[in-house]
Amino acid sequence: MYKELFKKAKDNNLENFQILEISTEELDIKIFNDQIDKFETSYITKYIVSANYNNKDVRIVTEKIDNNIIDLLKEQAEYIDLDTPVRKITLEDIKENKTFKINDPSKIIERMLNLITLKKQYKNLKEINSYYTESITKRTIITSKNELYDIKKEISFSTEITVSENEKNSTSYKTKIITDDSDINIEKITKETINNATDKLHYKEITNGTYKVILTSEVMGSILRHFINLFSADSIQKDTSLLVDKLGKKVFSDKITIVEDPNNSKLLGKRLFDNTGKKTSYKEIVKNGIFTKALYDSKTAKIDKVEVTGNDYGEISVRNMYIKPGNKSLDELIKSIDKGILVDFVGGLHAGINPINGNISIQSEGYYIENGQKKYATKLFILVTNIMELLNNVIDISNNIEFYYQDTASPDLLLDSIKISK
């Protein structure tokens, strides 16, 4: 089938014709109200077919490939009217011969159902819902001359806890994700979530003001992923990035170094090549506060007459971009604060973050800190800042970093002078 497709593409003057095949084997288990609510295995293959036709980029995402795909790509080109350089395919010899298998689901279900026994230990525990996912994903780029592939495994466990006291309920949620077959301690994660939900039964209001603030690893990783386009050459060229004309200049605190590490098999976003087949690589995007490297695909690289950076994923993006950790634990950061706030939950990020002007105004929860100790959980408040202010007000950085997304992550950050309002 593929041989016929490549011949038809050539006969129809489609250049750089390629097929990106993404095959995923997945196991999903959900325990709801102490019963198995979902047990599902799936095998899904998706294709991203792309080419250049009449000096235009064309691209189709599909679950089925046949000879009609060539006609559909040509038809799509009729609706595109962009005078921009076309993407180029980079053929690299990248073939990863790892093998993975899905773990025994019966043992996983047994462990998840055993969490019910925690209701005897925690009398205020009203409900435990838990979710477990395993996935094995293989990505293969097929061209007329070469075939590239890499493979990775991901295991995720999430728990949603509801506790009750004096007819008052509190719910807390936590996720842990790993990229190998090592054990996820689901009982430990569940107990931590129960304690967090219990703390938030006794929340108090905080007064408006400017505080020292700790953003946890999960919170800061979530915020950072909304600002990937800061470093995109496409955004810079279109004047929609705050870092226009800032290359080589200091833009953040000298404590901030931001790297991309896509080859690291221990991290969630591991990719050996981008969607064009360009080999990915470790790079320092910001070093000691200085913006050192913009991210390019073939279109933007041609405009600036530079090399591509292996960041073409249909658009310029990243895999395993993170702020480099520091040397202190989260507890040490907390102990350094006389009066401040630990933010461990944020909501409404899509509505509360403007990636173009950098403004951040998001609903948050956490703990009030006094004399180096967490005193009480806080009632919902609004965190108000700007990404430039945030990354310039860094006092210290923890040595703890958790990956919840394939694109971005961060350690816990201790910030100075951040505005909080009710």
pLDDT of residue 38: 96
Range of the domain at 209: 201-223+325-421
Q: Which of 200, 232, 263 is the last residue of a domain?
A: 200
Residue 101 within any structural domain of the chain: yes
**Are both 130 and 211 inside the same structural domain?**
no
Q: What's the half-sphere exposure (Cβ side, CA atoms, 13 Å) at 372?
A: 5
Within a domain: 52: yes
Kindly state whether residues 100 and 135 are assigned to the same domain.
yes
**93 and 206 part of one domain:** no
pTM of the model: 0.92
Report yes or no on 88 lying in a domain: yes
**Is the domain of 60 the same as that of 206?**
no
> What pLDDT does 87 receive?
67
- Tell me, yes or no, whether 308 lies in a domain: no
Question: Hey, what are 92's tokens?
Answer: 């690299």
Please say whether the beta carbons of 66 and 47 come within 8 A. no
Q: How confident is the model at residue 89, as a pLDDT? A: 63
The confidence score (pLDDT) of residue 145 equals 84
CA distance 399 to 326: 5
Could you list the pLDDT tens digit for every one of the 422 residues in the chain? 688 999 999 999 999 999 999 999 999 999 998 999 999 999 999 999 999 998 888 999 999 998 899 999 999 988 876 655 666 666 667 777 788 999 999 999 999 999 999 999 999 999 999 999 999 999 999 988 888 889 999 999 999 999 999 889 999 999 999 997 778 899 999 999 999 999 999 999 999 999 999 999 999 999 999 999 999 999 999 999 999 999 999 999 999 999 999 999 899 999 999 998 899 999 999 999 999 999 999 999 999 999 999 999 989 999 999 999 999 999 999 999 999 999 999 999 999 999 999 999 999 999 999 999 999 999 999 999 999 999 999 999 999 999 999 999 999 999 999 999 98
User: Is residue 274 one of the residues assigned to a domain?
Assistant: no
Q: Is residue 219 included in any domain, yes or no?
A: yes
- My answer on whether 117 and 208 are in the same domain is no
Residue showing tokens 């995720």:
156
Q: What domain count does the chain have?
A: 2
Same domain, 92 and 211: no
Q: Sign of torsion, CA 209 347 295 175?
A: positive
What is the per-residue pLDDT for 176?
94
Residues 151 and 211 in one domain: no
Q: Do the domain assignments include residue 299? A: no
Domain boundary among 146, 167, 200: 200
Q: Any idea what the CATH number is for the domain that residue 132 is in? A: 3.30.2290.10
The span from the CA of 311 to the CA of 202, in Å, is: 46
Same domain? For 62 and 205 the reply is: no
252 falls within a domain = no
Residues 112 and 216 reside in one and the same domain? no
Q: What is the pLDDT of residue 88?
A: 67
Question: What is the total residue count of the chain?
Answer: 422
Choose the final residue of a domain: 137, 169, 200: 200
Residues 87 and 167 in one domain: yes
Q: Please check whether residues 146 and 33 belong to one and the same domain.
A: yes
Same domain, 206 and 196: no
